[in-house]
Chains A and B, each alone.
Chain A
Amino acid sequence: MSVMLTKFESKSNRVKGLAFHPTQPLLAASLHNGSVQLWNYRMGVLVDRFEEHEGPVRAVAIHPSRALLVTGGDDYKIKVWDIRPQNRRCLFTLHGHLDYIRTVQFHHEMPWILSASDDQTIRIWNSTSRNCIAILTGHSHYVMSAQFHPKEDLVVSASQDQTVRVWDISGLRKNTPNTAPGTFDTFDNFSTVKYVLEGHDRGVNFATFHPTLPLIVSAADDRQIKIWRMSENRAWEVDACRGHFNNVSTAIFHPKHELIVSCGEDKTVRVWDLTKRSAVQTFRREHDRFWVLAAHPELNLFAAGHDNGLIVFKLERERPAFAMHADTLYYIRDKYVRAYDINTGSDIGLLSVRKFGSPYIPPRTLSYNPAERAVVITISSDNGLFELTSLPKDAAAEVKDSSVDGKRGPGHAAIFVARNRFAVLNKTTQLIEVHDLSNSVVKSIKPPVVTNEIFYGGTASLILSSTSSVVLYDIQQGKTIAEINTPPVKYVIWSADGALVALLSKHTITIANKNFSQHTLIHETIRIKSGAWDDAGVFIYSTLNHIKYCLAQGDHGVICTLDNPVYLTRVKGKTVHCLDRSARPRTITIDPTEYRFKLALLRNNYEEMLYIIRTSNLLGQSIIAYLQQKGFPEIALHFVQDKNTRFDLAIECGNLEVALETARTIDRPECWERLAQQALKQGNHKIVERAYQQTKNFDRLSFLYLATGSTDKLSKMQKIADARGDPMSRFHNALYAGDVLGRISVLRDVGMHPLAYLTAKTNGFDDLALEILEAAGLTEADVDDVPSFGVSTLRPPPVVTSTADLNWPSVSSGESYFDKALANGLENGPDVPYVNGHDTSAAATSALDEWAKDEEGQDDIGADEDGWDLDAGGEEAPPEDEEDEFEDAEVDLGAGAAAGVSEVELWARNSPFAADHVAAGAFESAMQLLNRQFGVVNFEPLKSSFVSVYRSSHAYLSPLASLPPLQLHLRRNPDESSSSRILPVAVRTIQSVRSELSEGFRAVSGNKLPEAQTVFRSVLHALLLVPISTDDEAKEWRDLVTLAREYLVGRSLELAAYFTHCQLQPAHMQIALRSAIGVFAKANNHATAAKFARRLLELNPDPKIVAQARQRIAAGDRNPRNAVEIQYDEFTEFDICATSFTPIYKGSPSVRCPYTDATYLPEFKGKLDSLLHLTEIGAPSSGLPAPRS
């Protein structure tokens, strides 16, 4: 069993010394051939070589905080090197030892170098003064090693004289002597042998201190490793580890765990348990003897040097086993399954797995099953084990141990494949077994390829990883669905929606869709560690030293660099959640702008792109280059301010206007030339003209005018040419323009008389020809020998259609989204409400806005109070439900299996509330309940409520073809399983009724009394069918009934006055008073109106209303009498009869409605209540039953 994980290996001459860099991934190795190598073991490259020693170099060390390297060789020299690449060199050499140097070491805080030599001495050097400051003598043979104590002023040394010695050097620190070299006699005062440890039978090769405990470990040629303990005044041998069968070269303590790691000439590296002194594991090498071993001071990393090079290895996997579900991370740290909530940051231990597998090996994988809240864990010890355990519901004080109810078995990989199934891979037998939760095998699968790993593959599927491919395998069907060739896949990560999957290998990522029909492959040179999907569907992954992203189409890039590898678990917006090497959850904030932008670009989501542009300060040259390279120059154009780039982009995407504009600002000839070329290609000759003009490219300009048939411009060109005094140009233009006279004159001007003559002659200008002859001093006779040509018909073709003002028509590209957005300025572009969870508050804001709008709407209604005109309103006809009448066809069930108790019967049985009986369809008992509890006698108005409650309490589903659907019953307590407690869903709740009631209030404020009346009535209807579960609810129920009733009584306008006595909310009270004032004033009852006005004033209304009220009071004062007498005594407390609206003063006899408790005059007893038309007034009733809890 070897769980040593080799991270890096190099081939070289024999390695005698090794030293890790404390922070960087660097390792110094000193070789037998005299070279010192500096490796970057993470990248696997040789960084540097130091070759000044003669003969083998055995000793090497790196300074704990400075870029210094010290080496000691068989040439007796100690050299100190600067290892910074820019000034790497040997800083100085320390001379003094008289034989081979075996080990060197820097002190952790003092500028001291410790060296051990075959000259039987140990020396301490001051690296600042470069002097030897101490010589420790006493060993009687080669000193094979010397090490500082990590904290105290002690040194431990090992020698071929079979002893290990501990030296006290505290004196050295107190009075660091700065004496000149050569005065050795002073040293012995402060460096004394503290202990001499005897016990080894042969020479001792190495000894070192434990990092924290008072322990020493030594390795000797007697093939033993000895552990020694120190106290204040003595030291003794504790035990020995036997097992090496040749000389042990080095033994060191594990920096973190209670382990000893040793290596020897028997070609093994061995790991021992420090407490039990028993061998834990052995790693053998075929041919190479091991000479040296080094531990990284911080990380779980070791290096061993052997005959042919070195290896860097880990003893255990650092990758913590973890699984993510929703926002909870389940992971294993120090053999505990823990749950970490990424939102709240709560991190609790749930389960101990200490007794599972080898105690030295952490579990390898964890698969979580949310349905059962169970985990399947695997471990690589004992040839692979799995364990299925359920997690406790809550973190208990005492963490459960998995051995209590865990179900175990052999297996190399185990994962959940369904809520109640998990698959276990046995690599040796190549068998995948599907287990159910009781751990019995329900199915065995022979995988189609040699499978090393299995992963969840979507519903009823597995992903099998072989050495050269991954296979998507259907468990049900037992066949391969798809196969992709990849290097061995180590991890599989599904996107949140299950549509995409990332398959991670050592150096490749394959992104595939869920049935593997499409996939892309990404190569990475650095080892890939982990990955997680962003909410937007971008895959974020980590390598040894980077966090990177990758889009589904394969585009990828770096997000940030990492000092140490992390294991990504979840990406949420800008936050990357991960586990570090010691399995501690941490978060890294990243800038997702770049990949979001690219994603938006791919999806043509310009709004989001614009949003990103607006809100981030991204967009350097790289993104522009990216856009250009991806074929979106026109988009890039919008991001560029730099005019040169802008011009380039404009030319590239053919946007001539922008190009022209930028060319003007740049105004350099080469720009104009490129613009001209591009414009010519597109047939925009106006811009071509413009460009030629700018560059004074007269020839081309002329030709352009010829081509476009622009004759007047050509003649202008002639003039220009004239002015420039360029005859050639003049000639050209004259030729293009068909201007023969012009041509002739040019020819004459430049003295080309023969040509001028001929031109004139052939074009029929004989007079002119003569003139030329004369000017040349010739006569016609002199040119007799010139053959005579006919009149030339050559002339420029006539312009058929003038295109001088027309550009070649090109398809209008329209105004792009960006043009519009950018034209408005980036700040006031359209709102982008939602970007990838980046700005989720926007949605909430818009909801608020809508709500605010609603509010405004209500205010409008309220403001319309002047139209307050009370209207008794016609009675609303109770809504008639038209339902098809069906015969009650009893379904006759056959014998055989007798029908059981239906759930609806249970409902009715379990509840005293009419609502629940209605939901159960037991209308008869529901009616009886209502009658008994509230005296309801007229059910007609309740019909629609009954039907809708019943309707919403049952759902139908047909799981099987052609069979009648199953009737399913909706419960209000779905977590309840006991049949004596299940209750139907609450279709109407106190809450829903309350919101309806507030609608009624709104209608009152808006002076919509008939509507309000309907609402209040329906509220009271609904309240009859609200099931109550607590006493508080019962109280609230009663309050609601009363409130609705008060409003309903008060609605009647003819009794506006009484309305004012109802207990209304202040705002509504104002309305009531004002309406009363209005009505009474109209009726000339000025006295009463004035009284109301006074009451109104008490409520502090608006100034305007105050003025009106004062008017009324004044009118009342002027005319203090009432035209109509009504029964209204404003001084006594009274109730209002809901039918006759007459006051029933305190103490007078009355009867009440059994439901709403509305008051009636005694004469109405036995009649139907007038408010709701439901109950018999004064009937005996039991009231609301007590809730059953």
Chain B
Amino acid sequence: MDSSELYHVKQQFTLAAYKSLVDLTLPDPNSPDYTPTLVYQARAHIALEDTAGALKMIPSDSENVALKGVAALARYVGASDETSKDAALEELRDLCVEIEGDDADAEEKEKDTVKVLAGTAFALAGEVEEALETLGAGTSHENLEAVAVTVQIYLSINRPDLARKEFERSKRWAEDDVLLQLIESSIALVTGKDSYSDPDSFYTEQLANPSLSSPHLLTARGVTRLLKGEVSGAKSDFEEAVSQQGGKADAETLAAMTVAAGLGPAKQADVEQYWSQLVKEYPSHPLVVDVAKKSSVFDELAAKFEVPPVA
């Protein structure tokens, strides 16, 4: 059983309370919690796209595989060109090989962390097969974080059936962990099972969780409500999320707000305002990228039609 501090750290990470996690003070370096906490904090930095912050935290001479893994992931996420990305990926591949060996003196948990980190990076690079292989998809491991990543990869390639299998398998040993519930709710988000009741109750429950608060949860519930067709409820969630983020919406919330604005009876101007804000501030958000792609597809397709002169 994790100590309660570490449990709390893990819970914050799982529920995407990255900001508060980053602000935590690290435990004593001799404490057994030190490295795991450091790993989670660094991962929170990465999740916030502050890879420099993550790298700064990790001593460069560390021999710990988990820390090395985090550093590599940070380098991958932070890399601007292909070569350094490849280098970071190679590094992770080496680490994976290292922990496979029997003589590796890393703890089981750290090995698990490395797999998750590597799997994340491979998934980011679009190497689905390699990612799934690394995460041990379909095998009988007990690494819940790996399951979570696996499930998300399956979902992203439209294989909710496999995702559900993976989830069912882990249900047997994962003791009703928060992460397990998150996985369950993610699956339902994609499949629309039971009118999205799983994610709806999960996020509503977690919002009432006394031990943390995370605007992500609000955004997530808002998105769930959008999916359920409750547009005005969704909008109020987003607004509250923005106010919790100090008035500046993060990419996820802003994107969701754009979507929501387009659905209700909102003024066209509002939609465009959100949209241009999103395009300006987060040009790499998948929504922006995707819509831009679609827009060019449109032009191409429209050109195929012959337009006669105006009557």
Contacts and interface: CB of A to CB of B under 8 A. Distances in A.
Contacts of A974: 192, 195-196, 227-229
A985 interface: yes
A786 interface: no
A923 B132 contact: no
Interface string B94-130: 0000000000000000000000000010011011111
A398 interface: no
Nearest to B117: A962
B16 interface: yes
Interface in B1-58: 1, 4, 7, 11, 13, 16, 18, 43-44, 46-47
Interface in A1142-1165: 1160, 1164
A939 interface: yes
A966 interface: yes
A1166 B311 CA distance: 8
Contact of B291 (A898, A939, A950): A950
A136 interface: no
Contacts of A948: 262, 271
A1168 B175 contact: no
A434 B181 CA distance: 15
A1050 to B, nearest CB: 18
A458 B208 contact: yes
B307 interface: yes
A949 B271 CA distance: 12
Interface in A865-910: 881, 883-886, 888-889, 891-903
Residue picked from A958, A961, A995, most chain B C-beta under 10 Å: A961
A731 interface: no
Nearest to B76: A962
B286 A956 contact: yes
B294 A961 contact: no
A14 B151 CA distance: 75
Nearest to A434: B176
A326 interface: no
Chain B: interface residue count, which band? Answer: 35 or more
B124 A951 contact: no
Contacts of A903: 158, 190
Nearest to A477: B7
A175 interface: no
Interface in A928-984: 931, 937-940, 943, 946-968, 970-972, 974-977, 982
Chain A: interface residue count, which band? Answer: 35 or more
B157 A899 contact: yes
Nearest to A1177: B311
Contact of B189 (A886, A947, A957, A962): A957
Nearest to A1161: B311
A957 B223 contact: yes
Given A419-B205, A956-B286, A939 B192 contact: no
A961 B260 CA distance: 24
A961 B18 contact: yes
Contacts of A938: 302, 305, 307
Given A888-B293, A950-B291, A943 B133 contact: no
B219 interface: yes
Given A461-B210, A923-B297, A971-B192, A961 B310 contact: no
A962 B49 CA distance: 8
Contacts of B228: 974
A848 B194 CA distance: 38
A1170 B310 contact: yes
A442 B223 CA distance: 30
Contact of A515 (B43, B126, B210, B293): B210
A898 B154 CA distance: 9
Contact of B259 (A421, A515, A970): A970
A400 interface: no
B193 interface: yes
A964 B286 contact: yes
B302 A940 contact: yes
The A interface is mostly helix, strand or loop, or mixed, namely: loop
A939 B307 CA distance: 9
B143 interface: no
B209 A460 contact: yes
A478 interface: yes
B165 to A, nearest CB: 11
Contacts of A937: 305-308
B43 to A, nearest CB: 6
A770 interface: no
A888 B298 contact: no
B281 interface: no
B72 interface: no
A406 B307 CA distance: 68
A1177 B47 CA distance: 55
A1139 interface: yes
Contact of A977 (B193, B220, B252): B193
Contact of A459 (B13, B123, B210, B261): B210
A923 B294 CA distance: 8
A706 B109 CA distance: 89
A1164 B123 contact: no
A207 to B, nearest CB: 60
B172 to A, nearest CB: 10
A1093 interface: no
B227 A460 contact: no
A992 B252 contact: no
A532 interface: no
A643 interface: no
Contact of B295 (A421, A460, A881, A958): A881
A436 B210 CA distance: 23
A897 B157 contact: yes
A1173 interface: yes
B159 A1139 contact: no
Contacts of B168: none
A397 B252 CA distance: 49
A958 B261 CA distance: 20
A1052 B70 CA distance: 68
B311 A896 contact: no
A1126 interface: no
A951 B275 contact: yes
Interface in A635-684: none
Interface in B283-301: 285-287, 289-299, 301
B162 interface: yes
A837 interface: no
Contacts of B249: none
B247 interface: no
A1167 interface: yes
A481 B205 CA distance: 17
A955 B305 contact: no
Contacts of A479: 4
A972 B229 contact: yes
A884 B197 CA distance: 38
A619 B16 CA distance: 51
A952 B263 contact: yes
Contact of A900 (B157, B206, B291, B305): B157
26 contacts: A460-B209, A498-B208, A883-B295, A885-B296, A886-B293, A886-B296, A888-B297, A894-B127, A896-B128, A900-B158, A921-B294, A937-B306, A954-B259, A955-B226, A955-B256, A958-B16, A961-B13, A961-B46, A961-B120, A962-B77, A964-B156, A975-B195, A976-B192, A992-B265, A1168-B310, A1173-B310
Given A957-B219, A962-B43, 13 more contacts: A460-B205, A481-B211, A900-B157, A923-B301, A927-B301, A951-B259, A959-B183, A961-B46, A963-B120, A963-B124, A970-B263, A971-B192, A1169-B310
* Chain A to chain B: the 10 pairs with minimum beta-carbon distance, closest first: A952-B262, A894-B129, A896-B129, A1167-B311, A900-B158, A961-B47, A883-B295, A1164-B311, A939-B302, A515-B210
Interface of A: 371, 418-419, 421, 434, 442-443, 458-461, 474-479, 481, 498, 514-515, 881, 883-886, 888-889, 891-903, 921, 923-924, 927, 931, 937-940, 943, 946-968, 970-972, 974-977, 982, 985, 987, 992, 995, 1139, 1160, 1164, 1166-1170, 1173, 1176-1177
